[in-house]
A and B are shown apart, each in its own frame.
Chain A
Amino acid sequence: MENIVEFVVDSTRSMGAEYAEARLQIDLRESIILKNGILEASTFEESKGIGIRVLVDGALGFASTNTLRRSNIERALKHALKIAKASSKLVKKKISMGKGELGKGKVDIKPRVNFGSVDFDSRVSLLREADEEAVNAASICGVKIPSRMVTLDTWTTEKIVVTSDGANIHSITPRVALFVFLTVFHPQRGPIQRYFNLGETGGWEIVERWNLPRIFYDETYAVSKVLMEAVKPPDGEMDVVLGPEVVGIVSHESCGHPSEADRILGREAAQAGETFLKPDSIGLRVGSPYVNVVDDPTLKSSFGFYLYDEEGVKARRRILIKEGVVNEFLHNRETASVFGVESNGASRSVAYNREPIVRMTNTFFLPGDYTEEEIFEDIKDGIYIKNFMEWNIDDRRFNQRYVGLESYRIENGELKNLIRNPVLEITTTGLWSSVDAAGKKLEFQAAYCGKGDPMQGIPVWTGGPHIRLRKVRIGGA
């Protein structure tokens, strides 16, 4: 396979491209869909093909094909060159590929338990056992759980990335992912819903470690309690503790996305939008000194794991906000060239037929030095938002809304009654500036980040410890 990729890069260079990059990618995925305890489908998907990116006269062309005959590949690369050349007349500032620490070699993540050793029947049995625990938990709480939707995916991605300036990386990455959507119902109280994702890099041993029956029971029990016991939240200015699930989404939406250099340059302006950060925002204070947010693809077992990006650049931790100050943007080689820096290895693509673009991986708030007890203990009157359902943020990444799901009143440092749907609607700088404590214990959640056109939903982790916000406004239904 490596020969094909090298052939493409050599041919493209000889046809006049200033830069060429080819990525052969194979994704093999098996999925189980369980709906209301009944198996809806067992599926497997194979996606194999080559994506070719070229730079001609300062313009970028991308072509992909899944037919790996030499004639088809030649057709694709000729199209990549032709389309780049045609569009070069609408390129005033010529694109170039910046520097980066290019790699050569193989990254092979070996599962301890191969997916092939676990048949579909066993997978369905596990999900059914977990599903039954959800039903049991609802029953104990005196509610019904009429709708349950569960998908369990195992998939392996193999890539060979070769660039005309020397990168050559072969990687094999197995992943597991679970998606759960639950609707709990009570005739007088109506419906309440909860969804969550689990996802890691590795083999079936991860699913065995998850203890799905326990997770399904706990999640259903918690959301049932919210349905039955939660009362109207307070309204006004108060101290708020955010749990790791909320801190994770905030770090992703209000730090990770604004820090993407392609957004800063306007490249996503008509889709996911731009950002309130500008090219000269490095050094800008956006939060309190307690705020430290990083993006790190090198975390072992993480859902967003990789050691080399799609341009062959060595991955590393990126410190996006350091002690409340914008420290670094996420770059690929194209944006690095514009900013006059080295790429920090943030180029990702979800499939062979998708252009690599600047992406997050595992974005999280760094732990502080508070115990959980210390975070809560001096709050006289506040709330704790453990997790959420609804959220969104504007396309400048400045006005966001998080609506709590499992949330509690805090009185004199102690958790009191459950409250229903507290709303935190706040600006990015307002949120980060109000942080005055971060816990020691770091937790992660899996998610799929959407960006690009065509859309690329890419696996990430979001995470953080508990953090405390002082005197922010809370509203709610």
Chain B
Amino acid sequence: MELNEIPSYIVNQARKLGATDVAANLIETKRIMIRFSNNEVTVSKVFFENSVEAFIMIERHKAATSINTLSLRNIEKTIKNLIKIAKSTPPADIYAPLPQGPFTYNPELMRAPEIPLDTDTLTSYVESAIRAALESGAVRAAGTLNAFKSRMTLATSGDVYASQEKSGIEISIRAFVSEYATGHAVSVAGKLEDFNPEKAGREAGEIAKAASNPKPGEPGEYMALLGPMVFADIANQVGSLSSAFLIETGQSFLVDKINLDVASKEFTLIDDPTLPGTLGSRAFDDEGIPSKRNVIIENGVLKTYLHNSTTAKRFGVETTGNAGIIVPYPWNLIIEPGNKSLEDLISEIDNGIYVTNNWYLRYQNYRTGDFSTIPRDGMFRIKRGEITESIRELRISDNVLRILQNIIGLSRSRNWIKWWEVEIPTLTPHALINRLNFTKSRM
């Protein structure tokens, strides 16, 4: 059996054995990763992966699996095991049949742009990023280059059989002038013409240089300018925690907030997998629903949670095309731009702090949104509309909803962000936040 015949085979066999609903998704991936530090390559990796995710229902009885030994014998054993487990487990509270197709998909989203996967070319991208960082004043650089091509082939009992390709290329580079003076930048793209490793290296180097000789920061409330890497992290929190599954488990500050103001009017957050050639584009979700542009927050008002068929039925709404068979996910987050330049935003700050990157965000309470996270890389004091000095060792200790309500300006220009700390590709501007709380270690 050819690989692309496996999903339909699973659907047919499981149906014969009594499943009312079946979805089987074959994922084939080739990925190359080059990691570097101290201006040298530390390791290069290549991954060849074929796996199948399968889900069955016998009405309210469910079972799911992921396997990567794709022999006929193992597939047949797996189908029987799925049926056995579904029959032996108690029923769920509701039965939401898989969506009935066939559906029509946007052909532009089914094909992926060509991305080079040869090691010499990819190594040359790493070289150019490091060189640009060093030419901007850094003394060393570290990071990751990641390039992939994959194909998903989905079959469901709802008359879905479809295949979509995806590809992408990303570089994340952190430049060091000293242990305390660092800068980080990324270039992430779904197509090669949008990929610019040299620019990422240069930006990282420039931030690191500007961050030289930082002084300890003073805690307190400041007007804060959040760079795209920081604001992307906040937007990822909002996008991820708008999953209806996490609403049900109480792991979200958006519980019971549909149609309420959750952010300032400046803030509109969209999940848009329908943009061809972007890293998070998708033609269909894991149930075969054609992908949709969903406005999660519009001018500050929470408009929808993200759903698959099961969560949609429980909430009494339509699926938003964000399955995840078990947990709905955002695919490709977009923050609508503001109307100001970066210089305009800086000039509006009388006494504030500019944070270019952060990591390690942890919640005290997901339901209220109380959290803290640690600025890293360049962080700067702004006084009377001008950057005055580099500072270090502060922590943002605040509340996500409070931050969203306190957005007072967004830049026109936006950057695509995805890196180790920001999982979902996110197109984001700089954001100006009123009264952001900073704390620090006291001894």
Contacts and interface: CB of A to CB of B under 8 A. Distances in A.
Interface of A: 33, 35-36, 38-49, 59-67, 72, 75-76, 79-80, 82-84, 86-93, 95, 119-121, 124, 146-149, 181, 183, 185, 190-193, 265-274, 353, 355, 389-396, 399-401, 403, 421, 423, 425-427, 430, 434, 453-455, 472-473, 475, 477
Given A59-B41, A63-B45, A265-B37, 4 more contacts: A61-B44, A83-B119, A146-B250, A453-B144
Given A90-B126, A392-B360, A394-B374, A124 B144 contact: no
A83 B420 contact: no
A270 B374 contact: no
Contacts of A403: 364, 372
Interface in B364-385: 364-368, 370-374, 376
Top 10 closest pairs, chain A to chain B, by CB? A147-B250, A183-B250, A269-B142, A86-B119, A87-B41, A390-B364, A473-B442, A270-B174, A392-B360, A191-B367
Contact of A86 (B70, B123, B179): B123
Interface in B38-76: 38-51, 62-70, 74
Contacts, number: 265
B368 A453 contact: no
Contact of A389 (B41, B64, B249, B364): B364
A42 B172 CA distance: 37
A268 B64 CA distance: 35
Contacts of B81: 44
Nearest to B140: A266
Interface stretch (B84-92, B161-169, B232-240): B84-92
Given A36-B248, A146-B250, A124 B51 contact: no
Nearest to A123: B89
Given A91-B41, A120-B89, A401-B439, A391 B362 contact: yes
A39 B90 contact: yes
Given A399-B395, A425-B440, A269 B48 contact: no
Contacts of B39: 90, 92
B359 interface: yes
A193 B41 contact: no
B35 A149 contact: no
B120 interface: yes
19 contacts: A35-B248, A36-B248, A39-B89, A42-B62, A44-B65, A65-B48, A76-B48, A80-B46, A183-B249, A191-B368, A192-B365, A270-B142, A355-B43, A355-B45, A389-B363, A395-B360, A421-B364, A426-B442, A453-B420
B22 interface: no
B25 interface: no
A148 B74 CA distance: 35
Contact of A390 (B43, B142, B370): B370
Contact of A149 (B38, B67, B85, B251): B251
Nearest to A79: B46
Given A86-B44, A147-B248, A426-B443, A395 B376 contact: yes
B37 A270 contact: yes
Given A426-B441, A426-B442, A453-B144, A266 B362 contact: no
B64 A92 contact: no
Nearest to B249: A149
B33 interface: yes
Contacts of A390: 362-364, 370-372
